Amino acid sequence: MTNLWKDPTFTSTTIHNVLVVGVRKNPVRRRIWEDAFVKGLGVRGVIATPSYQPYRSDCPTKLRADTFPET
């Protein structure tokens, strides 16, 4: 990572649930990348879901927050 931006109004101290989206044209590479990222977050105590679980076909071109249950 060479650059970082943080919303100055964001006040949450911890992040609990994360949807990991890998933008890859190759679906196999997408799954591999998302699985590795989810595993890395899990080691740090973050619950993460790879986007291929709710979006089993091609990589979504548009994600809608209302398609995921609130947790």
Asked if residue 55 has pLDDT above 80, the reply is: no
Higher pLDDT, 69 or 34: 34
Does some domain include residue 26?
A: yes
**Domains contained in the chain, number:** 1
Is residue 5 a part of any domain in this protein? no
pLDDT of residue 61: 59
**Distance between CA atoms of 33 and 20, rounded to whole angstroms?**
9
Has residue 36 been placed in a domain?
yes
Q: Residue 53 belongs to what domain range?
A: 17-59
Pair 31, 59: CB distance under 8 Å:
no
**Against a cut of 0.75, is the pTM above it?**
no
